[in-house]
């Protein structure tokens, strides 16, 4: 004689039974067991829903936080999550899909796996362009004299009295070069150009009438001469 046991519910492959809290108020909420996909990391007990149809399955969040030196910590953010809405009428929403949203949850994009792969390719291209833009800024800022590792190294060598290659002197933008050697520019009568002092406290005395371009090339020439002398010494 076979004993009859209550049938245990069979769970679809890729799912497991998980507890969920459902109820209109805390007092009337109940714990039910729902089929939850294995990729779902939502705690359906800690995140109660009003009605069983409100249960959404969600995976872990992948996020890009765009920092700023302006206002607000991360004003632009992009959060991507695997989601599925088990009672959705549209099959794309019912299927596991990717939802991308902004920080405030004000704008949503829903993507099929194919759409997400195309977006991933675009993001890779975006990253390459971003690196290119960073290089553009770094080069532009070198001209205006912001600090960068190459200049810091040249400055360090100059200050230590070590040799500076003439190629460094050729390559460095003039204002960075003057900064590296600690050169103060002064004007004098006439149109000559002279260099005095030691690195860190140098004076480049130039004729008032000398055009900027000539001032720059003279300063570069005199510093190259000085560095060559220091190398020989």
Q: How far is the CB of 68 from Zn ion (least distance, A)?
A: 35
Q: Phi first, then psi: what are they for 34, rounded to 5°? A: -125, 155
- Per-position x/- string for 37-56, each x denoting binding to Zn ion as judged by CB under 5 A, each - no binding: ---x-x--------------
Give the residue among 87, 86, 118 at the shortest CA–CA distance from 100: 118
State how far the Cα of 151 lies from the Cα of 148, in Å rounded to an integer: 6
**56/154 with CB nearer Zn ion:** 56
For residue 139, CA distances in Å to 128, 177, 183 come to: 17, 15, 22
Q: How far is the CB of 149 from Zn ion (least distance, A)?
A: 49
Where does this chain touch Zn ion (CB under 5 A) — which range of 29-37, 117-125, 175-183, 188-196? 29-37
Q: By CB under 5 A, tell whether 36 contacts Zn ion.
A: yes
Contacts with Zn ion: how many residues (CB under 5 A)?
Answer: 4
**42/168 with CB nearer Zn ion:** 42
Assign 159 to helix, strand or coil: helix
**93/228 with CB nearer Zn ion:** 93
Q: How far is the CB of 84 from Zn ion (least distance, A)?
A: 8
State how far the Cα of 98 lies from the Cα of 54, in Å rounded to an integer: 18
Q: How far is the CB of 41 from Zn ion (least distance, A)?
A: 8
Number of neighbouring beta carbons within 10 Å of residue 97: 20
Give the residue among 108, 76, 82 at the shortest CA–CA distance from 95: 82
**42/85 with CB nearer Zn ion:** 42
Q: How far is the CB of 31 from Zn ion (least distance, A)?
A: 14
Residue 16: both structure tokens together: 């497991």
Residue 147: both structure tokens together: 């600090």
**36/177 with CB nearer Zn ion:** 36
**38/68 with CB nearer Zn ion:** 38
- The residue nearest Zn ion at its CB is 40
Euclidean distance between the first and the last CA atom of the chain, given in angstroms as a whole number: 109
Q: Which of 22, 48, 57, 227 binds Zn ion (CB under 5 A)?
A: 57
Q: Which residues contact 53 (CB under 8 A, 6 or more apart)?
A: 87
Q: Which residues bind Zn ion (CB under 5 A)?
A: 36, 40, 42, 57
């Amino acid at each position: 004689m076979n004993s009859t046991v209550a049938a245990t519910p069979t769970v679809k492959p890729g799912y497991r039974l998980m507890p969920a809290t459902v109820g209109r108020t805390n007092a009337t909420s109940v714990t039910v067991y729902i089929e939850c996909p294995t990729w779902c990391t939502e705690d359906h007990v800690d995140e109660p829903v009003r009605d069983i149809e409100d249960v959404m399955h969600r995976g872990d969040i992948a996020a890009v936080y765009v920092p700023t030196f302006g206002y607000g910590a991360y004003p632009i953010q992009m959060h991507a999550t695997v989601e599925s809405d088990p009672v959705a009428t549209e099959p794309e929403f019912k299927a596991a899909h990717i939802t991308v949203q902004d920080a405030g949850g004000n704008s949503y994009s829903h993507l099929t796996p194919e759409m997400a792969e195309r977006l991933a390719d675009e993001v890779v291209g975006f990253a390459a362009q971003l690196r290119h833009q960073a290089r553009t800024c770094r080069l532009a800022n070198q001209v205006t004299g912001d600090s960068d590792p190459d200049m810091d190294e040249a400055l360090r060598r100059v200050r230590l009295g070590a040799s500076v290659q003439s190629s460094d002197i050729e390559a460095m933008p003039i204002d960075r070069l003057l900064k590296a050697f600690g050169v103060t520019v002064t004007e004098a009568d006439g149109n000559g150009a002279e260099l005095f002092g030691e690195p860190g406290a140098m004076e480049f005395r130039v004729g008032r009438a000398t055009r900027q371009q000539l001032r720059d090339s003279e300063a570069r020439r005199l510093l190259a001469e000085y560095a060559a002398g220091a190398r020989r010494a």
